[in-house]
Amino acid sequence: MCCVMIYNRLATLRTMHGLSRQELADKVGVNYQTIGFIERGDYSPSLELGFAIASVFHVRIDDIFSTNVFQPMLGEVKHEPKIK
Amino acid sequence: MNRKLNRTDAFQKHREFLIPKIVSLFIIAGLVVALTATQQASGMPSGIDKIYTETAANWALLVSGASALILGGYYGGKYSILWAKAVEIRLDEREKSVRNRVFLRAYRWMVALMFFGLLGLMQSTNGHMQTVSGWVFLVLAISLPSIIASWTRASR
């Protein structure tokens, strides 16, 4: 089970919610660069961090992370207001 | 204009990875010069040349030590054994995993270097060479994790 590729659509969700990397990083308690690494797929977060990120966007963890390539989000997720 | 901007962005992007690499090269070069100059000085007869060569070795060691401190400061003590516990509280999970990987590699390198270094020292009767080697190992022990970190992806 080594080196399973974890795909994510964190960048899309973050942009949709109008959050910067720094803002998201502050909410989940990590360095802003870690958010960049996750978005680029260079780092797979722990379950704790994955759940923390999912709770920020009020979605399930498998809406953000998957072992399968995500399909385009058109029509799948409604635009939500900026998270305060 | 756009091309100029892109070039500036590329420079900014690579600069933070380039600086630690250059400093780490300074450390390694300084240690190599120190050891080589000391070795050469040991074969020289007493005189001004020997003094100059030994002075060069000492300066190289000093530059190396100063560069090690600069590199440690650049990373904010993230890869320092001395402050590892104090720094840990402000590292997130990715930074901790990078640090652990760097420490493991540094430990492997240090064991290998000490093994070959001790083999060399056992055959050497030169007291000055032994002293310089001791300082070289000290600088390496302090700076090796930072040196490895500067050549490791995602270390910053």
**Cα angle: B16, vertex B20, B22; to 5 degrees:** 110
Domain edges within chain B: 2-150
Averaged pLDDT score across all residues of chain B: 83
The answer to whether A45 contacts B93, with C-beta atoms less than 8 Å apart, is yes
Spatial contact of B92 and A30, defined as CB atoms under 8 Å apart:
yes
One-letter amino acid identity for A44? Answer: S
User: Closest by alpha carbon to B26, among B152, B156, B132, B143?
Assistant: B143
Flag whether pLDDT at B152 surpasses 80.
yes
The answer to whether A30 contacts B154, with C-beta atoms less than 8 Å apart, is no
What's the ipTM? 0.74
Domain edges within chain A: 7-65
CA–CA separation, B120 and A4 (whole Å): 45
Question: Looking only at Cα atoms, what is the longest distance across chain A?
Answer: 39
Tell me, yes or no, if B95 comes closer than 8 A to chain A by beta carbon.
Answer: yes
The answer to whether B94 contacts A37, with C-beta atoms less than 8 Å apart, is yes
The answer to whether A49 contacts B95, with C-beta atoms less than 8 Å apart, is no
pLDDT category, B34, cuts 50, 70, 90? very high
Q: List the single range of A52-56, A77-81, B21-25 with lowest mean pLDDT.
A: A77-81
Flag whether pLDDT at B95 surpasses 80.
yes
Please give, one letter per residue, the 3-state secondary structure of chain A: CCCCCCEECHHHHHHHCCCCHHHHHHHHCCCHHHHHHHHCCCCCCCHHHHHHHHHHHCCCHHHHEECCCCCCCCCCCCCCCCCC
Identify the pLDDT of residue A15: 92
Closest Cα in chain A to B97: A43
Residues of A in contact with B88 (CB under 8 A): none
* A2 φψ region: left (φ > 0), alpha (ψ -120 to 50), beta (else): beta
CA–CA separation, A32 and B95 (whole Å): 11
Flag whether pLDDT at B57 surpasses 60.
yes
- Interface A-B: count of C-beta contacts within 8 A: 23
Average pLDDT over residues B78-100: 80
Tell me, yes or no, if A8 comes closer than 8 A to chain B by beta carbon.
Answer: no
Domain A7-65: give its CATH code. 1.10.260.40
Identify the pLDDT of residue A59: 92
pLDDT category, B147, cuts 50, 70, 90? very high
Flag whether pLDDT at A36 surpasses 50.
yes
